[in-house]
Amino acid sequence: MKLVAIVGSVTAPGRLIRAITQLLDDTRAAHDGVETQLIDLADLRIAFADGRPPEQYQDDTAAVVRSVREAEAVILASPVYRGSITGALKNLLDHLPPEALSKPVGIVAMGATLHHFLGADRHLRDILSWFGAIVVPVSVYLVSSDFAEGKLSDEARQELSELADAALKLVQVAPAPGKFLGPKPLPARRK
């Protein structure tokens, strides 16, 4: 089984990347046979989505799309930017065909205060419903107080582990690749 985590920040590595790295480390330690992959958009070149197939870009776009398609579960992580997700993450999502995320997906958002906790979550849930994703019911929202001396708190670490565990459990009820749980989402019906 493969779990892919995408960090949608393009700024210098910080707390969010440390949190997601910890999530992946803990997942590998807790689940034999689970392969993990970190996709850090800060380290990659993803073309602006303009409708071309990913293979036509001369950058990392096709490889990232392929990794997401091949995963059984995905974690999407984004800092809150202007009350929503980052443009970099949205751009990547614009490259993905509907079946690429018709699987379990967990959401991690990070903001400066608790006041913004629904911004990224709400927008990602709207986008993920377009894909027909099987979204873990509760997301993880991290703030500065979840870190002490650069390390993730035990409580936040536990929440991240529970999120990854839930996504992996949902794989058991997920449909075969290219299929959907329930009715097809609109983009898959209009092909």
- Average per-residue pLDDT in the chain? 92
pLDDT surpassing 70 at residue 1 = yes
DSSP 8-state assignment for residue 84? B
CB proximity list for 37: less than 8 A, separation 6 or greater: 2, 3, 4, 5, 67, 71
CATH number for domain 2-189, candidates 3.40.50.300, 3.30.930.10, 3.40.50.360, 3.30.2350.10: 3.40.50.360
Tell me the mean pLDDT in the region 79-97: 92
Question: pLDDT tens, 34-55?
Answer: 999 999 999 999 999 999 999 9
Confidence band (pLDDT; 50, 70, 90) for 190? low
pLDDT surpassing 60 at residue 191 = no
Closest CA to 143 of 133, 156, 154: 156
Question: pLDDT tens, 126-141?
Answer: 999 999 999 999 999 9
Q: What is the pLDDT of residue 61?
A: 97
Confidence band (pLDDT; 50, 70, 90) for 24? very high
Lookup: tokens for 173: 């009820």
Query: CB neighbours (10 Å) of residue 32?
Result: 6
Confidence band (pLDDT; 50, 70, 90) for 92? very high
pLDDT surpassing 80 at residue 9 = yes
Residue 174's alpha-carbon distances to 64, 91, 95, 104, in angstroms, are 21, 25, 22, 7
